Each structure stands twice: as structure tokens, then as C-alpha cells.
Copies of this chain bind each other. A is one copy, B any other.
Amino acid sequence: MSVSLREVAKAAKVSVGTVSNVLNRPEVVAPETLARVQRIIDDLGFVPNGFARQLRSGNSRTLGLIVPDVANPFFTEVARGVEDAASKRDYAVFLCNSDESASKEDRYINVLIQQQVRGVLITPTDVKSDRLDAMRERGIAVTLVDRELKGRQQCSVSVDDVHGGQLGIEYLTGLGHSDIAWVCGPDSIPQVADRGAGVAKAAKIAGAKVETIRVSLMNTPQGEEAARKILSFKTMPSAIFCANDLLALGVMRTLRESKIRIPEQVSILGYDDIEFAASAAVPLSSISQPAYQMGVTAADLLLNECEERDTHEHQQIRFQPQLVERASTGKH
């Protein structure tokens, strides 16, 4: 079916070793031999069998990236960063969607081990990390994305989520809001827990009341669900802080259907600052994270670990979130 190196060697009347050298160490091959073999390779349309190659050499040029939700623009933005950084260094990226499910995550980790990826970038769905250790034991480098695990010897790129939560509440209380709803997913998601901790901390300092509305997934339909819950309250909060923009867009959609004016009656603050936040019905104020930059940084860290294993030093890089003020939030 496929042309093998052996066939190329025969056609070029050289040994397999020479063809291999043409591919991997062209400098040791005589120029004219090089040219001749190159031509035959092109003529025959030979593409080396990656499996065989890496079975022998022991390492591939592929990375895995496991995200909890590909449909979330925040993560596609991270993915773009990872991909750009990786392809610059001639690596390809396996993009996997864990869908916030630990079992899907496990399944993909297994696939990636089988595919013998060189390294894995992951936003783990929960704290248990034996799966990650299993990869490391196999010599697969692991870098955490949008997540930091303290006291661990590994690289990570994260954003200060506690600070992000604080930032949001400080901003809202600064606008005069003292009755705030915090819409978020389950606490098992570390980002949610951290942002929630920041929210609680800042609320305590400011003396504001914060009601937590917890939904199962962090997407738009669940945001609509949350909004319906809020609409059923005896007294509506004057501001809603959502743990990500998809939730916020869902909340906004449902509130607007109920003719609630934003921000006059309710302020809405999102998190992530995805591209669509600015195009929303009411342009969404949000806590911004440098998604693309995080992807690039994480990939660079990971590749550094892969390629300079001995001199590599684990780093925890932490970005700071920023408030982006738009029309969905106002004074109370």
C-alpha cells in the first residue's frame, strides 16, 4: 500500500541507512547522493511511517491537549495558542475534548499514552492526579493549563482565579451592588472553587450578600436555567456575576426575554472575555484572561521540558485577570 524506506533505498540503489540519513542527518550524506535520494523520495511520494519511526527512536513529535469544552471559545483560543506555538517547533497537536467528564478524560489519557505523545497539556477536570502521575512515569511531560497544583513538581500556566473572583465582586460592590448572585458550576471544577473563594472573600470584606446559584455545566443553556431560578426569587439580586461568559450570555438571553433591562434593573458580569462578549445583546462586562497567550506559554513550557529534560526547571506561570468594562454593568 504505502511506499517504504526499503523500496526507496532499492530504487535509489543505496542502503536503507543512507535513506534514513537523508531524512534525519542530511549533513552526513554526500550532496549528490542526497539530491538523488531526495528526488526518488518525491517521485515515489514516500512519507515515513511515523509509527515505525517513533517505535525505534522512542519519541514522537505530537502533543496532546485535553480541554474540558471545545465549544467554549476561551478554550479554542487557548488551543490556537498551543497549536501556533507547537507548529512553530514542528509538533502536531491532538485536541481532545473531555467534556468535563473524568471518564472521558481517562479514556483520552489512555489514547494519548498509546499514541505515545511527547507531552500533554491538560486542564484536568478534578484534583485527583494519579492519571497525570501515570503519564509522567511513562516519560510523558505534563503541563497544567488554567490550573495550578501547589507543591507539585510540574509546569503550569494559570490565572489567579481567586483574584479574578475578588476583582469582580470589588467592581460590583464599588458600583453600589450589595445583593449579588454568583452563578457557577460544581465546586469540583477548581476554577469555580477558586473564583468562588475570591467572591466570598471580597463579599465578606465589602459586607455584601452573595447568593450562589450552582448549575451542572458551564454553558449557555445552563445559564438560561440559572436565570430562570433567579427570576423565581422573591427579591431579585441587583447584579449577577457568572463564572464564565457562556453562562452570562445564557443568563442575559433569558432575562431579556423576560423584559428585564440590563444594566438598569440587573447588572451582569461575565468571566473569560470571549470574543462574543463584545457582540452580545448588551455588550458584556467580563473578567479577561489572556487565553491565546496562555496557550502559547503552556506549549513553550511543555516543549522545553520535552526537549531539554535534564536542564529543564519546572515553572508555575500565573497571569493576572483584568476587568473589562462594557455596557452590561452599571451603578445601583
Residues of A within 8 A of B (CB): 1-2, 45, 47-55, 60, 62, 70-71, 73, 76-77, 79-80, 83, 87, 92-97, 104, 107-108, 110-111, 113-116, 134, 137-139, 220, 249-250, 252-253, 275-276, 278-283
Contact = CB atoms under 8 A, between A and B. Distances in A.
A113 B45 CA distance: 12
Contact of A92 (B76, B96, B253): B96
Nearest to A138: B2
Contacts of A2: 138-139
Contacts of A83: 97
B1 A138 contact: yes
A34 to B, nearest CB: 20
Number of copies of this protein chain within its complex: 2
A216 B149 CA distance: 42
Given A92-B96, A278-B253, A280-B281, A49 B55 contact: yes
Q: Which 7 residue pairs of A and B lie closest in terms of their CB atoms, listed nearest first?
A: A50-B114, A95-B95, A51-B51, A92-B111, A249-B279, A276-B276, A1-B139
B70 A92 contact: no
19 contacts: A47-B138, A49-B55, A49-B114, A49-B116, A50-B51, A50-B115, A51-B52, A70-B76, A70-B95, A71-B80, A71-B275, A76-B76, A92-B96, A92-B108, A92-B111, A94-B94, A95-B95, A249-B279, A276-B276
A274 B127 CA distance: 33
B92 A62 contact: no
A79 B73 contact: no
Nearest to A97: B83
A122 to B, nearest CB: 15
Contact of A115 (B62, B108, B220, B275): B62
A229 to B, nearest CB: 19
A116 B80 contact: no
Contact of A54 (B1, B51, B70): B51
A174 B82 CA distance: 46
A70 B62 contact: no
Contacts of A87: 104, 107
A51 B62 contact: no
A26 B48 CA distance: 33
Nearest to A71: B76
A75 to B, nearest CB: 9
A74 to B, nearest CB: 11
